[in-house]
């Protein structure tokens, strides 16, 4: 019986809005390769390589070889996968061609934005500068930088957020080490595209989840999944008023590959499933009703825990959809959670 993850790989490989032939005989560097999105991208590329006979090579930049060996165990003997152990801050030497780059290395833990703001900024800015220099020196054909919806700051409730919107963020709020560094990296991508012709494109991702989420992941979608599996009440530490859309991991992969091959250099694209837009409280209630559990509130200091203040992030994906992209599955949030929860395993 095929797994949900295998189904996702098959469905990614079968989409006709990605020009897979352009990846034939190419070398693709993926940074942040053991992260949720990065590892799914690596798997999808290697799966498509086998099924479509692309003869491509994936260079996976990882900090921890042991973790990477577990993540990609089924491709351990596959010469198409090459593990590069190192960091984007101190990028290891890379010989040969690098035709495409998907740059996903980033700090993602909210508490780290407050507890390690210097490292958060340096990983983002120094790392992206190094990757852009690599793309420049290798004359890469395409590059995608994985940014964040947080680059938009705090849009007003009811506003549809397009790529031309600008986010106002205070540099004196330490948590903004994350979104402001994302903005700076976007500016670097735009600058390198303009001055040096580096074909860098920005992907502004909404919160993304699906198969591959670790059971003990501290992000809210993983917590909700654990509550469903353990039949424990969902306890919200805020009022859950933040509203945003979400994105399934497989859809994130097809979106990233779409703009890698068809995006306009020096520009940005919103990546989200607009049908999933809701508040955190509404999402919790939906899951609780399905699982037969309750939602309770234990309001705490949001800033101390690294949580964003109430946010209204209704991303417009018209630019992405104009490139032919569409979601793989209907069913919205319910289907995304069903697929993620089915794959979550206790450590």
DSSP characters for 275-302?
Answer: EEEEEHHHHHHHHHHHHT--EEE----T
Phi, psi values for residue 161, rounded to 5°: -90, 120
Q: Say which CATH class 4-211+246-274+314-331 falls into.
A: alpha beta
Instruction: Tally the C-alpha atoms within 13 A of residue 197's C-alpha that lie toward its C-beta.
Output: 5
Pick from 3, 1, 68, 2: which is nearest to 30 by CA?
68
Provide CB contacts within 8 A for 232, sequence distance 6+.
Answer: 226, 293
Name the residue with tokens 């080490």: 177
Question: Residue 232 has what DSSP assignment?
Answer: -
pLDDT of residue 1: 44
User: How far apart are the C-alpha atoms of 202 and 190, rounded to whole Å?
Assistant: 9
Tens of pLDDT along the chain (347 residues) come to: 469 999 999 999 999 999 999 999 999 999 999 999 999 999 999 999 999 999 999 999 999 999 999 999 999 899 999 999 999 999 999 999 999 999 999 988 888 899 999 999 999 999 999 999 999 999 999 999 999 999 999 999 999 999 999 888 999 999 999 999 999 999 999 999 999 999 999 999 999 999 999 999 989 999 999 999 999 999 999 899 999 999 999 999 999 999 999 999 999 999 999 999 999 999 999 999 999 999 999 887 655 555 667 899 999 999 999 999 999 998 899 999 999 999 997 77
Distance of CA 193 to the CA centre of its chain: 22
Pick from 135, 91, 81: which is nearest to 260 by CA?
135
């Amino acid at each position: 019986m095929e797994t949900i993850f295998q189904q996702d790989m098959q469905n990614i490989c079968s989409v006709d809005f990605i020009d897979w032939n352009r990846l034939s005989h190419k070398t693709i560097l993926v940074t942040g390769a053991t992260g949720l999105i990065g590892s799914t991208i690596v798997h999808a590329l290697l799966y498509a390589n086998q099924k479509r006979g692309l003869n491509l090579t994936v260079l996976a930049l990882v900090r921890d070889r042991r973790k990477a060996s577990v993540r990609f165990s089924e491709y351990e003997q596959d010469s198409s996968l090459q593990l590069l152990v190192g960091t984007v801050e101190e990028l290891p030497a890379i010989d040969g061609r690098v035709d495409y780059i998907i740059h996903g290395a980033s700090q993602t833990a909210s508490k780290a934005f407050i507890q390690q703001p210097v490292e958060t900024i340096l990983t983002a800015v120094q790392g992206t500068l190094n990757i852009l220099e690599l793309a420049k020196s290798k004359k890469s054909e395409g590059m995608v930088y994985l940014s964040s919806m947080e680059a938009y700051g705090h849009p007003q409730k009811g506003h549809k957020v397009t790529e031309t919107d600008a986010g106002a963020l205070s540099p004196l709020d330490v948590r903004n080490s994350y979104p402001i560094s994302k903005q700076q990296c976007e500016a670097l991508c735009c600058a390198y595209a303009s001055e040096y012709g580096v074909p860098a494109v920005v992907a502004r991702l909404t919160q993304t989840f699906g198969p591959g989420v670790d059971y003990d992941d501290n992000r809210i979608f993983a917590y909700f999944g654990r509550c469903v599996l353990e039949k424990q009440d969902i306890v919200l530490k805020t009022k859950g008023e933040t509203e945003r859309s979400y994105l399934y991991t497989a859809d994130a992969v097809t979106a990233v590959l779409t703009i890698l091959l068809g995006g306009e250099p020096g520009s940005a694209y919103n990546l989200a499933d607009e049908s999933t837009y809701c508040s955190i409280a509404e999402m919790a209630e939906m899951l609780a009703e399905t699982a037969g559990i309750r939602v309770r509130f234990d309001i705490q200091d949001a800033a101390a825990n690294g949580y964003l203040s109430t946010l209204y992030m209704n991303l417009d994906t018209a630019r992405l959809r104009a490139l032919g992209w569409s979601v793989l599955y209907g069913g919205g949030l319910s289907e995304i959670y069903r697929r993620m929860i089915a794959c979550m395993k206790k450590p």
